[in-house]
Structure 1
């Protein structure tokens, strides 16, 4: 599967509908045929998956041992609010009110590409993440990516 690219600022209308940006729609040619799925993200945001990617995740989740309490709790929390989205004739998707409330979204949103999914953030929340970035990004990059090419001797 191809990875998404870009950040897109959008506005919701009074009914909670959002126009899927043309630049993003071009990256998901199968969206009109297969649809999308939206659910809660891990950090007060929402996540949109192309249907094919959602089905792949469901296949992985179905392999987990649901006799374990932590697994059941995780699956319930992950699935909570999951909703199919489809484009209307004006290229809009309707985001459920419960999900908008979860992510504190009320008006402006940022769609941020994350490999095979799209994060949906309240614009204020998204922008606040970058206010005190400073040298933290360089330190984070070193910590996360610094050992990527080192050979482990055993």
Structure 2
């Protein structure tokens, strides 16, 4: 499983196309052959998955009990707008307009690596997350990671 690294600022052209940054493309050599999948994130952003990672997630989702209402609702919402992306000759991908509208993206974007996927944010929305960071990050780190050794040992 690939673990991506880096943040990349990009611009969409008027048709909704984005050049995949060279530094990111280098981290996924299979992208030209296998493609990518993009869909809605859990917040107002988009998520780009390498095809193999998307297939792994689909395999996990296929094991869920679809006789349960909450499962069906989750799968519907998770899959909504999922679209395969392919690189053109200029290393661009065309991001579907409904997904851009969902994420409030209309020009500048930030691609933020997150383990095995890439989050795609409107630049202003991404930057706004860090405006009041201050001690909040330290408190969040303590809450999320503070008891890591106890969880691993116990």
TM-score range, shorter chain: over 0.9
| 2:100 counterpart residue number | 100
Q: In the aligned structure 2, how far is the partner of 1:37 from the partner of 1:134?
A: 34
User: Residues 107-152 of structure 1, C-alpha deviation per residue, up to 9 Å, x if partnerless?
Assistant: 0000000000000000000000000000000000000001101243
2:58 corresponds to:
58
Which residue of structure 1 aligns with residue 18 of structure 2?
Answer: 18
- Paired position in structure 2 for 1:130: 130
Q: What is the RMSD computed on CA atoms of the aligned residues? A: 0.5
Residues in 1 aligned to 2:100 and 2:141: alpha-carbon distance in whole angstroms: 31
Aligned match of 1:35:
35
SS class of match (1:112)? strand
CA distance in 1, matches of 2:148, 2:129: 25
Aligned to 1:111: 111
More helix by share: 2
Tell me the alpha carbon deviations over residues 12-32 of structure 1, each in whole angstroms, 9 at most, x when there is no partner: 000000000000000000000
Q: Distance between the aligned counterparts of 1:140 and 1:70, measured in 2?
A: 29
Specify the alignment match of 1:85 in structure 2: 85
Q: Which residue of 1 aligns with 2:121?
A: 121
The gaps in structure 1 that reach 5 residues or longer are: none
Instruction: Provide the residue aligned with 2:76 in structure 1.
Output: 76
Cα distance, 1:2 vs structure 2: 2.1
| Residues matched between the structures, number | 152
Structure 1 moving runs of 4+ over 6 Å: none
SS at match of 1:113: strand
